[in-house]
Chain A
Amino acid sequence: MEIKTLLGRDYVLLDGGFGTELQKRGMKSGETSEIMNFKMPDEVRSVLRSYVEAGSDIVSANTFGANRLKLEGSEYTVEDVVKQAMKLAGEAVAGTDTLVALDIGPLGQLLEPTGTLKFEEAYELFKEIIDAGKSRADLIVIETMTDLYEIKAALLAAKENSSLPVFTYMTFEKNGRTFTGCSPAAMALTLEGLGADAVGVNCSLAPSELREIVKEISEWTTLPLVIKANAGLPDPITNEYSVSAEQFAEDYRFFAELGVKIYGGCCGTSPEYIVKVREMLRENPPKKRVVPEIPPAVCSYARAVDITAPRIIGERINPTGKKLFKEALRNHDIGYILNQAIQQTDAGADILDVNVGLPEIDEREMMISAVKAIQGVTDVPLQIDSTKPEVIEAALRVYNGKAIVNSVNGEDEVLDTVLPIVKKYGAAVVGLTLDKNGIPPTAQERFEVAQKIVKRAENYGIRREDVYIDCLTLTASAEQKAVLETLRALSMVKEKLGVKTVLGVSNISFGLPARELINSTFLSMALQCGLDLPIINPNITAMSGAVFAYRLLANIDSDSREFIARFGGETAAKPAAPKAEMSLGYAIEKGLREEAAAITEKMLAETDPMEIVNGCLIPALDAAGADFEKGKIFLPQLILSANAAQGCFGVIKEKMPTADGSVSKGKIVLATVKGDIHDIGKNIVKTLLENYGYTVIDLGKDVPEQTVVDAAREHNVKLVGLSALMTTTLGAMEQTIRLLNEQLPHCRTVVGGAVLTADYAEKIGADFYARDAKETVDIAKKIFE
């Protein structure tokens, strides 16, 4: 039977718990269920057969944990195990209509950024399972996933390496989220976008606890819904589950009312549960589901942002015209970009535009790093901003959610290259109303381009709701008449095409004084004309404030709640104008970053930058360092002083006439060694070094040995700093040092970390041991003198 035929029925029955059933037949607790395919094939077949007899339309082969990570140390390969499991399942369903699913569970290691497993590695691990099992499977089931990123890797691997239907289930907790914070809405939006054939929940909770979660999923997807609950939780002493088969089936009535299509059981359920569920469904056939109208929306792994009201897209992650940003890109300084992300989120951005294009860098590689890092620290959805299809695709691939692509235009070649990518990854897309001939002058002509874009998108299977049209802002100083034409086009597009609109606002005031005034006025005009997605600098209160005020005045922000929450309290302290008596030294000592920056700005008018650095900044930091050593101040204060110095450095770098960091005292590579993920100590060292004027090439955590060497060579550094916190990763540190000594004998090494001692550092060949961040600075000073 075909899945399609099966889904045409009132309901579809899956199987129930597998491990517990195998334990009843003799598997010991703690044994690996997948190995039982070889050790007790008859019993494995018998469990599956018992579900066939209970009435399951689909049974899952015993492949849940058959991945390379979990099978490591066993005598079997993934291929062995999967092939054997599929064979047994095939035998169990022989002579019946029951279908066999290739069952894929979590890999057992957390993905980046919380874990160490790379998205790309996860994809390969899943691909291996799919390649081994696809020929004998009727469908693929991906289940018990708690990380949207991991299920995305699995789903992509399934879609790209087979033509089988794919059912996808995630596991939620009582708080309505998965362990990694994924929300039902984000799950539904993302997985449907990526082409799943059914979505739902399994494991962790009893049926009665899953109601709200399944209901929320049902509001965000048109796909068939799946429920596969646990029979409650096992008791820690008796190991028995709390929900009986009768109760379980009774509690499933709620889901039949909701129109759920596919029913099964997870931990603690048995064929008896499936029989009871079948009986219940026969008497209470599920209601035909009214498929909801899904609002236009994008999402991160955690947060869905619906575009039913104006939402702010933050424009600051973009190097155009920004010297420090460009320098950060050249040095691969992701921290700088993250800071921009957080500032904008705090200022009220709902979505962040990400543009990291710079001619002299590898944009694709940088985009991947930036997207991965940004989604690790904020949960606002991202807008991928690039003109290069390969950059767009790379970003969409590693994005954990449903993103926006910025942008396509009316040119056929662009549309036919980019739209298929947008469709494949289930993204939304910005369409610019221009084509080969440039920006059409009249509203009518821009409307026609928009029409073409929308039509083409629909041809590629992209929903109209996922196309956002940009009618393009022209500079008022150059083309004053065009301002109203843009707004006219915006209204037309919105009314006649029924799509959402997006507009970069800040360009309008280029070349004019009092830009903020022009920008915020234009923004208000555009909002009134129906603008949904203003692209602005949210850090400017007049801009983000205009959107918040609009939402209040347009009766969207009911009871002004959002507005009052943001503006009702104390107004945020402005970067204080430095008090006349405050010195730079004092500001640094007290850790007053904004004051330090403001004082520096003033001093620059009459003092040489290097004199500020060497005459004020460094002595003040040294004083803080000395106090730290004496135990007069402690680590947080030392870092606060360093932060204040950073504020000062920022100002100096921005004002320096030369292209890049001529204030730099030298470059240092830092890394937390392979296998170790405790990098906070390394990050403290980085902060301190930077604020003493060193340029730090931060390679992050879990860094392979050779990567450290390559970076040291590429940047031609004299000093490499390595950190490790665990005894289990000291070997990787030793190996890194060995490679460095072999390949770059002139490069020195400094090591640190809780488990290290000076003796041990010497033993593994390090040149220096640093007890703390302060000592690392002292060592750097010595080396770069």
Chain B
Amino acid sequence: MSNVLSEAMRYLGCRGEPDEQTAALLERGEKALRSEVSPSYCWLEAEKSALGDFICGNDIKKHLEGCEKAVLFAATLGAQSERLIRRAEAENMAYAVVLDALASAFIEEFCDKCELEIKARVGGNFTYRFSPGYGDYPLGLQAMFIRRLSADKRIGLTATSNSILIPRKSVTAIIGVSEHEIEHEKRSCATCSMRERCVYRKEGKSCGD
């Protein structure tokens, strides 16, 4: 099973192998997303000292410890992913749920791919992507990310006054860049907003397991 499929299964709360019908929905959804959605991204590199208001709270400081530079990053699956999901909701809710989960997995996969491209250009060692809403890093920064990256003009990304990204299947993030090895490379439950409700954590596991 592809990584996107197994991630989508996880979002759906499915354990083990999917049953026949769910498998068919997953296959159809993955095909639709891969053929009809064209994700896009934009980024810029900045000296850490030039990040200004992007340094906000303790967690981002910790995250960028030892980094000299940072990459500001935004990516989106675009309006077409919204349309596909809306259409699916009107047609068959089961398919819509599967498609929604797939789209979430798909944007993560796309971000990973973008990161490789950026790394090839920038060089050095990268931290993981740190996004508004992680730990004490305010969701309210979404608008600032969009402004600084001109992400509205460049990739059609916007944020509502409640800091909801639209299109919904989108990511903004800071990646720390260092010439040296970076220790804390993996995201942990500590900065996760779902930590109090997470079903995995209740079982003593984490979603990364």
Contact = CB atoms under 8 A, between A and B. Distances in A.
Do A and B pair up? The answer is yes
B97 A175 contact: no
A687 B93 contact: yes
A258 to B, nearest CB: 25
A635 interface: yes
A493 to B, nearest CB: 37
B139 A114 contact: no
Contacts of B92: 643
Contact of A677 (B43, B45, B153, B164): B164
A561 B100 CA distance: 33
A314 B42 CA distance: 42
Interface of B: 12-15, 19, 21-22, 25, 38, 40, 42-45, 78-80, 82-83, 85-87, 89-94, 96-98, 100, 118, 121-122, 139, 147-148, 152-156, 158, 160-164, 166-168, 193-194, 196-197
A501 interface: no
A237 B163 CA distance: 27
A180 B157 CA distance: 11
Contacts of B91: 339, 342
Most A CB within 10 A of own CB, among B13, B89, B152, B160: B160
A220 to B, nearest CB: 22
Given A236-B118, A339-B90, A675-B161, 17 more contacts: A108-B152, A109-B160, A110-B79, A115-B158, A146-B156, A203-B153, A204-B153, A236-B45, A237-B121, A342-B91, A635-B97, A636-B14, A683-B93, A684-B93, A726-B162, A728-B164, A754-B194
Contact of A727 (B44, B45, B193): B193
B197 A635 contact: no
A725 B158 CA distance: 18
Interface string A319-358: 0000000000000000100110110000000000000000
Interface in A234-256: 236-237, 239
Contacts of A634: 12-15, 22
B44 A239 contact: yes
Nearest to A642: B93
Main secondary structure, interface of A, reads: loop
Given A179-B155, A727-B193, A640 B139 contact: no
Interface in A734-756: 754-755
Contacts of B19: 633, 637
Contact of A591 (B94, B122, B193, B194): B94
A643 B93 contact: yes
A341 B160 CA distance: 30
Given A115-B158, A376-B83, A636-B25, A727 B139 contact: yes
Interface string A164-190: 000000010101001111000000000
A204 B152 CA distance: 11
A728 B152 contact: no
A17 B21 CA distance: 54
Interface string A99-123: 0000000101110011110000000
A247 to B, nearest CB: 21
Contact of A237 (B45, B93, B153): B45
Most chain A C-beta atoms within 10 Å of own C-beta, residue among B89, B100, B147: B89
Given A109-B160, A634-B22, A675-B162, A377 B90 contact: yes
B79 A677 contact: no
A519 interface: no
A236 B168 contact: no
30 contacts: A30-B147, A108-B158, A109-B158, A113-B82, A114-B167, A181-B79, A181-B80, A237-B44, A239-B44, A267-B153, A335-B89, A339-B91, A376-B86, A377-B90, A591-B94, A636-B14, A637-B21, A637-B22, A637-B94, A640-B21, A643-B93, A676-B164, A677-B168, A680-B100, A683-B93, A684-B93, A684-B97, A726-B139, A728-B163, A757-B196
Contacts of B93: 639, 642-643, 683-684, 687
A680 B89 contact: yes
A113 B12 contact: no
B93 to A, nearest CB: 4
B162 A180 contact: no
B90 A335 contact: yes
Contact of B13 (A171, A237, A635): A635
A378 B90 CA distance: 10
A95 interface: no
A541 interface: no
B70 to A, nearest CB: 12
A150 to B, nearest CB: 11
Nearest to A106: B152
B94 A636 contact: yes
A114 B194 contact: no
Contacts of A591: 21, 94
A678 interface: yes
A110 B12 CA distance: 28
A26 interface: no
B137 to A, nearest CB: 13
B152 A680 contact: no
Nearest to A334: B90
A643 B79 CA distance: 27
A635 B14 contact: yes
Contacts of A726: 139, 162-164
Leading 7 A-B pairs by shortest Cβ distance: A179-B156, A338-B90, A639-B94, A634-B14, A728-B162, A675-B162, A377-B87
A146 B156 CA distance: 8
A144 B154 CA distance: 11
A179 B43 CA distance: 18
A239 B168 CA distance: 28
A680 B196 contact: no
B83 A181 contact: yes
Given A634-B12, A636-B22, A114 B83 contact: yes
Contacts of A633: 19
Contacts of A524: none
Contacts of B168: 677-678
A180 B163 contact: no
A180 B156 contact: yes
Contacts of B139: 726-728
A56 to B, nearest CB: 22
Nearest to A182: B79
A675 B87 contact: no
A729 interface: yes
Contacts of A237: 44-45, 121-122
A631 B15 contact: yes
A384 B162 CA distance: 35
A617 to B, nearest CB: 17
A636 B100 CA distance: 11
Given A115-B166, A175-B38, A640 B155 contact: no
A342 B97 contact: no
A680 B43 contact: no
B75 to A, nearest CB: 13
A377 B85 CA distance: 9
Nearest to B72: A236
A687 B13 CA distance: 19
A387 B22 CA distance: 46
Given A342-B91, A675-B162, A636 B194 contact: no
B110 to A, nearest CB: 16
Contacts of A637: 19, 21-22, 94
